[in-house]
Amino acid sequence: MPNPRRSPSRLVPSPRGGVLSVEVSGAPDGRPVFLMHGTPGSRSGPRPRSIVLYRMGVRLVSYDRPGYGGSTRVPGRQVADAAADVAAIADTLELDRFGVIGRSGGGPHALACAALLADRVTRAAALVGIAPPDAPGLAWFDGMAQSNTNDYDMADRDVALFTERLLARADRARRDPESLMAALRGELTHSDLRVIDDTAIRRLITDNYAEATRFGGHGWVDDALAFRREWGFQLSDVTGEVLLWHGADDAFSPVGHTEWLARRIAHAYVQVQADTAHFGSVEILPQALAWVTAGP
């Protein structure tokens, strides 16, 4: 049965074959903003209700990255490939210019759009994002939760074993989305627990996981592998204004990653919020939308 809280989705041809599953919500004539979901995630991830977006004057566009939800998988995709996906969706929706926000695993993909679609992206934001794997001067795993460290280390050492284990985890999440939340619980800070223990937010997050893994976990696998390989673009090509927001206590994407990005993005505005961690990015999304849509 369709989820009545979700906007209808549409399928857009992917530039690399297959389709991309897209949802549009908010004000039909509002300022367009693409929301890049986390890892794992989907187009139905946590976001303000459509009536809130309408009042903000925002037309929010979200889509499943290849391999998630209803979007066709593209094995071996790079982070940079998100720019072509966004351009294809924007062309279909007849959007010339737009903002982009990426949350968690969506952060690098938002930066890819800012770099490779500089003539179309008005402003971009990366919330609790990560830095490239070859970031000079950054101890990439410092402050990172053991579960994430183990996953990325295995992805570096044994892709086949990593894929097998992550697909099994995705299958459990598909059958019981609460299992993924339960597995994370021991590594969550008090501030993250406060966010996810809100009944409405928790339902949004678990629905998001269920949709992300509806046809398997390959999108999750491909995201993780893409983060630990060459991203396919240069941060020096990000010439527009970028908001970098991070919770100071984030253990899944440590704040050092955002601080490193800030030193390499010419027009970066950095906000590090005390007593906040990874899931705080769900609560500050309206603030990020307001900033992005206030641009030129």
Residues forming a β-bridge with 205: none
pLDDT digits (tens, 9 = 90+) for 226-270: 999 999 999 999 999 999 999 999 999 999 999 999 999 999 999
Residue (of 15, 16, 11, 38) closest to 93 by Cα position: 11
Please give the span between the terminal C-alpha atoms of the chain, in angstroms, as a whole number.
41
Q: Is 190 exposed, middle or buried (0-12, 13-18, 19+ CB in 10 A)?
A: exposed
pLDDT digits (tens, 9 = 90+) for 177-202: 999 888 888 899 999 999 999 999 99
Does domain 9-293 fall under CATH 3.40.50.1820? My reply is yes
pLDDT digits (tens, 9 = 90+) for 67-94: 999 999 999 999 999 999 999 999 999 9
- Indicate the domain borders of the chain: 9-293
Whether the per-residue pLDDT at 1 is higher than 70: the answer is no
Residue (of 106, 93, 126) closest to 26 by Cα position: 93
pLDDT digits (tens, 9 = 90+) for 135-157: 999 999 999 999 999 999 999 99
Question: pLDDT band at residue 20, thresholds of 50, 70 and 90?
Answer: very high
Residue (of 146, 141, 99) closest to 120 by Cα position: 99
pLDDT digits (tens, 9 = 90+) for 84-132: 999 999 999 999 999 999 999 999 999 999 999 999 999 999 999 999 9
- Give the H or E element holding residue 155: helix 146-157
Query: What is the structure's pLDDT at 6?
Result: 52
Whether the per-residue pLDDT at 5 is higher than 80: the answer is no
In the chain, what's the furthest Cα-to-Cα distance? 50
Query: What is the structure's pLDDT at 265?
Result: 98
Query: What is the structure's pLDDT at 129?
Result: 98
Query: What is the structure's pLDDT at 184?
Result: 87
The pLDDT of 204-214, averaged and rounded, is 95
pTM of the model: 0.95
The pLDDT of 19-32, averaged and rounded, is 97
Question: pLDDT band at residue 7, thresholds of 50, 70 and 90?
Answer: low
User: Could you tell me if 129 and 107 are in contact, meaning their C-beta atoms sit under 8 angstroms apart?
Assistant: yes
Residues 6+ apart with CB under 8 A from 246: 127, 128, 129, 253, 255, 257, 258, 270, 271, 272, 273
Residues 6+ apart with CB under 8 A from 162: 151, 154, 155, 221, 224, 225
DSSP state of 181: H
